[in-house]
Amino acid sequence: MKKILKIIILSLLLANVAHSKTKEEKRAKYVLLNMQQDYIACYSFYKIGSEYVKKSNGDKSTIDGIEKSSDLSLKLAHDTGELMGMTIEEMSLKLESEMNKQLNLIDNNFSNASILLEKCAQNCKNLIENKKKRISFWEKKAKEKINE
């Protein structure tokens, strides 16, 4: 009887450990997916912004700065996708989808880029300058969504 009881208790403990790991993995995936989406949104925002500044004959150093932020956002989106085991094709589809979403938001008219500026500028700046803060934000959301 004691042996059976020990087996049952051990089984319950192992099941609890496996369940915890699953929650932990789900939270990590949630954080990575949302961070990648943030990077993709910022990449699209910076690409559209760069085109807007070019079309309005903006300053070359401003264009270069925006393109540098765009490149960094793309690299971070790609690195995050690789961590999740995504293919280049999957990542490209996500990029294309977000770019279309933002272009639709401004009616494919770069003159309406101020709409994106209001919506994305501060978030993207903060994301690039302090990604740890954004990771903490998504970790908190993951804990709320995927209960302990």
Residue 71 corresponds to which tokens in the numbers above? 């490149």
Which of 81, 83, 100 has its CA nearest to residue 91?
Answer: 81
Q: How far apart are CA 7 and CA 13, in angstroms?
A: 10
- Whole-angstrom CA distances from 55 to 35, 85, 87, 105 are 30, 37, 33, 18
pTM listed for this prediction: 0.81
pLDDT, position 8: 53
Between CA 109 and CA 74 the distance in angstroms is 23
**Alpha helices for the chain (secondary structure H):** 2-55, 60-83, 88-105, 114-129, 131-145
User: Digits of tens for pLDDT over the chain (148 positions)?
Assistant: 555 544 554 444 444 444 446 888 889 999 999 999 999 999 999 999 998 888 888 899 999 999 999 999 999 999 999 999 999 999 999 999 999 999 998 887 777 777 888 888 899 999 988 989 999 999 999 999 988 6
> What local confidence, expressed as pLDDT, does residue 109 receive?
79
pLDDT at residue 4 in the model: 56
**What pLDDT is stored for residue 16 in this prediction?**
47
